[in-house]
Chain A
Amino acid sequence: ETGVTQTPRHLVMGMTNKKSLKCEQHLGHNAMYWYKQSAKKPLELMFVYNFKEQTENNSVPSRFSPECPNSSHLFLHLHTLQPEDSALYLCASSQAPGQGNYGYTFGSGTRLTVV
């Protein structure tokens, strides 16, 4: 375990379902991130939160809705997804800008399959 926990590990959902991915870190980090990793594509940054404030939304469709209630928790709410949204969703955390730059700590990811 790296200190970043993602649940669930696997998720299968229909296109009309609503589900949420959860990420939790207890590393004292103040920045959290959602990445999408599809087969044969580079890692895609989706959202960035610094001190609970969203600082980056990388043109992500509105069917993905992030929520960061505090610096330790990050959610990704999913609704009316498409089959092409099937991917590995990775959460990461780090020190916020200006507080050290030692890279990111990642969770194990949620493997999402949209049917």
Chain B
Amino acid sequence: AQTVTQSQPEMSVQEAETVTLSCTYDTSESDYYLFWYKQPPSRQMILVIRQEAYKQQNATENRFSVNFQKAAKSFSLKISDSQLGDAAMYFCAYRSHSGNTPLVFGKGTRLSVIA
């Protein structure tokens, strides 16, 4: 079974600085999808960014980018120019390409942004 590990329960960053959240996963599959979700205090789980495993190019969405290392099974999220609104729980998630298994989530990293 696939597992997703987020080794940093909590992180903090100064406003306008850059922070990287770590995620590793374990799978025997070669084709899959990886996601980062954000859950602010409003509780809404929001998709931040996704990566298809067959794509070598790292995904980017404005200030959010990933460092996808397939061989190392690592999928870190970099937030540049951090803003107060970035404060939230961040969850890394995995889904197989076949989609026959549900999304597998890590335990989350709580990010605080210091003004």
Contact = CB atoms under 8 A, between A and B. Distances in A.
A101 B43 contact: no
B93 A103 contact: yes
Contacts of B90: none
Interface residues of B, number: 23
A87 B44 CA distance: 15
Given A42-B108, A98-B98, A101-B33, A2 B103 contact: no
Contacts of B46: 2, 106
Contacts of A98: 98-99
Contact of B44 (A97, A104, A108): A108
Interface string A84-103: 00001010101111110111
Question: For chain A, what secondary structure do more than half of its interface residues adopt (helix, strand, loop), or is it mixed?
Answer: loop
A66 interface: no
13 contacts: A2-B44, A33-B102, A43-B91, A88-B43, A92-B45, A97-B99, A101-B33, A101-B99, A102-B33, A102-B50, A103-B47, A104-B103, A106-B46
Interface of B: 33, 35, 37, 42-47, 50, 91, 93, 95, 97-100, 102-103, 105-108
A-B CB proximity, top 6 nearest? A97-B99, A106-B45, A42-B107, A43-B105, A103-B35, A109-B43
